[in-house]
Chains A and B, each alone.
Chain A
Amino acid sequence: MISKIRIFLLLAFFCASKSYAVLKVMASTENLKTVVKEIGGAHVEVESYCKGNQDPHYLEAKPSFMIKTHQADLVIAMGLELEVAWLPKVLSGGRNLKVMKGKKGYLEVGPLLDVLEVHTGHITRADGDVHPDGNPHVDLDPIRIGQIGKHVAARLALLDSKNKGVYEANAQKLMERMEAKTKVWAKRIAATGTKKIVTYHKTLTYFIDRFGLQSAAILEPLPGVPPTAAHILDVIKVAKQAGVKLTLVENIYDDSVAKRVAKELPGMRVVKVPISVGGRQDILKLDDVFEALVVAFEGDSK
């Protein structure tokens, strides 16, 4: 009987120590969560605050986020003020000394990358919800995803040095896969002949930049401001003049305005595209996000 108790205690200790070794990570978005999962593998347990069908700009600072933050070893955010409306409240409400800003357990990946649309002039609220430090949607460029993987690996290694080799190897694999696929995706997009697109929000800035595309117009008159009648007329005019044939509406936005615009523009296709893992039921990996965007360009020609 005593030996059975010993075995049970040993097993319990083993299980407890094993679960303790796993790093608990909270990522601000599903895309970041997927990167962390790919880099950390079995050594991390990761959840995201924002789901693939939610807008990361306007999340509520829910108490359930605070309890998850309280239990986390690491919080990873995009930064560049993407989460400014809710994450500070979640961090202070979580009262976890390990993941406060400035600690090893808190990482913002956006500022570590080459950021586009950094504003240098005088910005006011009249310009809409502008992110002064640059466009925060860095996760919609496959190459930057690879770079994010490297930063995530470095931070995981800092918190769990014994698995440093695993994290670095996984980050290298992610980087190489994204570089290889980017070449293929670039060729496929180029083959469609589509250069200019309309989008709802400036979400696809990095994707557009990476694949040499042009944003002809944005359906929002200003960042974060819903389309107005006057602006819709402007978009129709610009799209007609530029010969735009494709409007991509990010899955977190309503596509009814885009469809109204398309009625005035013969040949204009409106495609609702996932911008996040989980943004559509079949989008399970980061590769699926980019694949869906490429397929949107290929449309009927595929």
Chain B
Amino acid sequence: MSRYHLRLCLKLTVLIALSQSYQLKASNDGSGLSTAIAADLVGAFNLSKEDGGAKDSFDVRETEISFYAPIDHLFEGILSIAAHREGGEALYEVHEASISTSKLVSGLSFKLGQYFLGIGRLNRFHRHDWPFVSAPKVTNEFFGSEGVLDSGAEASYLFPSSVYINLTAGVTNGWTYGHSHNEGKKPKIPTHYARLSSFFEPADLGLATGLSYLSRTSAEEEKLQLIGFDGVAKIQSGSFPRFLLQTEAWHREVTPKTGDKSQSAGTYVYPQYGFSKSLSAGCRFDYFTVLSLKDANGSKIANSQYGFVPTLTYKSSEFASFRLAINHETTTQKNQDTTKKQYAELQSIFILGAHPAHDF
């Protein structure tokens, strides 16, 4: 066992012991404190002779410990701490520390603190709750491998209509963008975002859709603008989703203080079929392109990155899942050689303790 693993095990043991003592205390004092511990183990292995970019090793990608409870009769709180493997070190960081309520004003909920921004689809879910192993190319490029988290305030309003229409809007510090480990710099305009979502239910199908917008102007006066669509369709069969279709499409525009603006766009589509409560299979299709790529003459250069990722998932329960994904990635650019990567990912996720109910 490497020094990294030893250190990780030690830290995890301390956290679990702490959480159990809190849990025991909570069960006695009626505070309603729940603890959830999630471990996300991922191995990536090259399938072709050429370097496919995978590390050929099986590691702890992330461990996360979350405490959540009602704070009092009005507010709820969550604190989640995650450890990532970065540069051979287990880096612990606060993922979420927020106070929220939906009990102050009818139709309105508020959140204050640090959290993953309420935009798109994947950004609103913990990575261990995603239906596939790793982030699609487009979300990886625009939001990082996990998602964008920041400190600020977010409000969500449910419109009083017969159809579900919800507007979420928030403002965060914006000193950094993405999943950063440095302090960053005070931006000219902080990160601000909104998502308008709706839900339709034709027959047995549940269809949730959302339109998102995010903008920020950095200290260097570089303006970032993101516009995206997300959609999820599900058909439930008894106790499991028989059919799932998840998609996101995003467009990003970055305008520096001087020079040309850059534009890129991408999408992913993930259909999945559930054979039973335990077994499901899906295939994700990814596409990404830099729209503003130009040659010395100012002519546009055609380019694209696309891929498909067949994924097989076995779940013994909602608390343990095993996943196999075969990644096929192709990068093309006019007048350049096409490059291809093939690698397999093996994932095991287990959850100890509570697991709160999920959004649709």
CA distance A63 to B236 in the complex (A): 15
Contact indicator per residue, chain B 244-284, by CB within 8 Å of chain A (1) or not (0): 00000000000000000000000000000000111000000
| List of B residues within 8 angstroms of A252 by Cβ | 238-239
Whether a CB of chain A sits under 8 angstroms from the CB of B187 is no
- A82-117 CB contacts (< 8 Å) to partner B: 84-89, 92-97, 100, 102
Do the beta carbons of B158 and A93 come within 8 Å of each other? yes
| List of B residues within 8 angstroms of A70 by Cβ | 106-107, 158, 160
| List of A residues within 8 angstroms of B241 by Cβ | 60
Do the beta carbons of A125 and B319 come within 8 Å of each other? yes
Question: Chain A: which residue is nearest B357 at the CB level?
Answer: A89
Do the beta carbons of A95 and B357 come within 8 Å of each other? no
CA distance A58 to B277 in the complex (A): 11
Do the beta carbons of A95 and B108 come within 8 Å of each other? yes
Q: How far is the CB of B232 from chain A (nearest CB, A)?
A: 11
| List of A residues within 8 angstroms of B106 by Cβ | 70, 95-97
CA distance A95 to B317 in the complex (A): 30
Do the beta carbons of B240 and A62 come within 8 Å of each other? no
Whether a CB of chain B sits under 8 angstroms from the CB of A78 is no
A62-B360, A89-B359 given as contacts; is B163 within 8 A of A67 (CB)? yes
Whether a CB of chain B sits under 8 angstroms from the CB of A268 is no
Whether a CB of chain B sits under 8 angstroms from the CB of A54 is yes
Q: How far is the CB of A78 from chain B (nearest CB, A)?
A: 16
CA distance A70 to B103 in the complex (A): 12
Whether a CB of chain B sits under 8 angstroms from the CB of A263 is no
Whether a CB of chain B sits under 8 angstroms from the CB of A253 is yes
Tell which of B107, B163, B360 touches A95, judged by Cβ atoms closer than 8 Å. Answer: B107
Tell which of B160, B208, B238 touches A63, judged by Cβ atoms closer than 8 Å. Answer: B208
Whether a CB of chain A sits under 8 angstroms from the CB of B23 is no
CA distance A174 to B278 in the complex (A): 41
A70-B158, A93-B158 given as contacts; is B73 within 8 A of A63 (CB)? no
- B67-118 CB contacts (< 8 Å) to partner A: 73, 102-103, 105-109
- B330-358 CB contacts (< 8 Å) to partner A: 356-358
| List of A residues within 8 angstroms of B158 by Cβ | 66-67, 70, 93-95
Q: How far is the CB of B209 from chain A (nearest CB, A)?
A: 10
Interface of A is mostly: loop
Q: Chain A: interface residue count, which band?
A: 35 or more
Whether a CB of chain A sits under 8 angstroms from the CB of B28 is no
CA distance A66 to B102 in the complex (A): 12
Q: How far is the CB of A213 from chain B (nearest CB, A)?
A: 26
Whether a CB of chain B sits under 8 angstroms from the CB of A208 is no
Question: Chain B: which residue is nearest A71 at the CB level?
Answer: B160
| List of A residues within 8 angstroms of B105 by Cβ | 97
- A49-75 CB contacts (< 8 Å) to partner B: 54-55, 57-64, 66-67, 70-71
A60-B206, A86-B357, A89-B357 given as contacts; is B238 within 8 A of A102 (CB)? no
A63-B360, A93-B158 given as contacts; is B236 within 8 A of A54 (CB)? yes
| List of A residues within 8 angstroms of B276 by Cβ | 226
A85-B357, A92-B102, A226-B278 given as contacts; is B199 within 8 A of A55 (CB)? no
Whether a CB of chain A sits under 8 angstroms from the CB of B234 is yes
| List of B residues within 8 angstroms of A89 by Cβ | 356-359
Whether a CB of chain A sits under 8 angstroms from the CB of B129 is no
Whether a CB of chain B sits under 8 angstroms from the CB of A224 is yes
Whether a CB of chain A sits under 8 angstroms from the CB of B166 is yes
Q: How far is the CB of A24 from chain B (nearest CB, A)?
A: 12
Whether a CB of chain A sits under 8 angstroms from the CB of B164 is yes
Do the beta carbons of A64 and B201 come within 8 Å of each other? yes
Do the beta carbons of B102 and A63 come within 8 Å of each other? no
Do the beta carbons of B73 and A102 come within 8 Å of each other? yes
Whether a CB of chain A sits under 8 angstroms from the CB of B182 is no
| List of B residues within 8 angstroms of A87 by Cβ | 357
Do the beta carbons of B317 and A224 come within 8 Å of each other? yes
| List of A residues within 8 angstroms of B278 by Cβ | 226
| List of B residues within 8 angstroms of A102 by Cβ | 73
Q: How far is the CB of A58 from chain B (nearest CB, A)?
A: 4
Do the beta carbons of B317 and A125 come within 8 Å of each other? yes
Do the beta carbons of B234 and A60 come within 8 Å of each other? yes
CA distance A87 to B357 in the complex (A): 8
Whether a CB of chain A sits under 8 angstroms from the CB of B162 is yes
| List of B residues within 8 angstroms of A54 by Cβ | 236, 238
Q: How far is the CB of B190 from chain A (nearest CB, A)?
A: 26
Do the beta carbons of A64 and B164 come within 8 Å of each other? yes
Do the beta carbons of B164 and A63 come within 8 Å of each other? yes
- B169-228 CB contacts (< 8 Å) to partner A: 197-199, 201, 206, 208
Q: How far is the CB of A51 from chain B (nearest CB, A)?
A: 10
A61-B360, A86-B357, A224-B317 given as contacts; is B164 within 8 A of A67 (CB)? yes
| List of B residues within 8 angstroms of A95 by Cβ | 102, 106-109, 158
CA distance A130 to B32 in the complex (A): 19
Whether a CB of chain A sits under 8 angstroms from the CB of B161 is yes
Q: How far is the CB of B78 from chain A (nearest CB, A)?
A: 12
Q: With a 10 A CB-CB cut-off, give which of A64, A66, A224 has the most chain B CB atoms.
A: A64
Do the beta carbons of B206 and A62 come within 8 Å of each other? yes
| List of B residues within 8 angstroms of A253 by Cβ | 238
CA distance A253 to B234 in the complex (A): 20
Q: With a 10 A CB-CB cut-off, give which of B106, B162, B208, B357 has the most chain A CB atoms.
A: B357
Do the beta carbons of A62 and B109 come within 8 Å of each other? no
CA distance A277 to B236 in the complex (A): 20
| List of A residues within 8 angstroms of B160 by Cβ | 70-71
5 contacts between A and B (CB under 8 A): A61-B359, A61-B360, A64-B201, A85-B357, A92-B102
Q: Which residues of B are at the interface with A, using a C-beta cutoff of 8 A?
A: 73, 102-103, 105-109, 158, 160-164, 166, 197-199, 201, 206, 208, 234, 236, 238-241, 276-278, 317, 319, 356-360
Q: Which residues of A are at the interface with B, using a C-beta cutoff of 8 A?
A: 54-55, 57-64, 66-67, 70-71, 84-89, 92-97, 100, 102, 125, 129, 224-226, 252-254
Complex A-B, nearest 9 residue pairs according to Cβ-Cβ distance, in ascending order: A63-B199, A58-B239, A89-B357, A63-B164, A67-B164, A55-B239, A95-B102, A92-B102, A95-B107
